[in-house]
Amino acid sequence: MALKVIGSGLGRTGTMSLKLALEQLGLGPCHHMVEVFMHPETVPLWVAAGQGQGDWDAIFAGYPSMVDHPGCIYWRELMDLYPDAKVLHTVRDPDQWFDSTQATIFAPYSPATAPPPPMKAFFDTVHGWYRGDIHDRDFMVKVFQRHTEEVIATVPKDRLLVYEAGQGWEPLCEFLGVPVPASPYPRENSRQQFQDRMAQGLTPIEIGKLAKASMHQA
């Protein structure tokens, strides 16, 4: 199965909500960081990808769409490999994005900050993509802005949607050529939800299951 949607937006730009939205639109399962935790057998494939040996058909077998890390950092390779796929680039205010990362995925209690040995090589490739101090505001804001500029400058306009969290169904569905659902657009994995779940000691796998359950209850 070839990817139909490539999410190039970085984590903490509404990617979990977008994952659930794409799955509701029939483009699921959608690959997201939580899928790596749910399928640890794929970790060696991601480590190899970080070394320039990405077996993308194997990594995304069964997934028609992808958002979030780790896939988002390979958007160039993926858009070339899957020329019919559309590129969905999620954005938000860069300073708010930085604040969100420091309170969630790059916080001391995040599973990405002190991963168990089997996951360390994987997260080293993710963190290494930033090529600098992930806790430095000025540096990270520039990385965020440059990433968006590169996507916009590279992806053909007819393949790209720059989508801001909070815009809802309409621009997304128009871009994908699908009807707008009657149900509200998903809202999942907010900063507070992330922090509450970490405080409860929930694993990333449990968090992913909660997110999917919330979609089915909506």
Kindly report, residue by residue over 147-190, the tens digit of the pLDDT.
999 999 999 999 999 999 789 999 999 999 999 999 999 886 54
From the list 56, 60, 55, 78, the residue with the least C-alpha distance to 7 is 78
pLDDT at 1 over 90: no
pLDDT at 191 over 50: no
Rounded to the nearest integer, the mean pLDDT of the chain is 88
C-beta separation of 181 from 24 below 8 A? yes
Q: How many domains does the chain have?
A: 1
Mean pLDDT, residues 108-134:
85
- Give the CATH number, domain containing residue 176: 3.40.50.300
Strand partners, 7: 88
C-beta separation of 195 from 104 below 8 A? yes
Structural domain that includes position 178? 5-217
C-beta separation of 79 from 155 below 8 A? yes
pTM of the model: 0.87
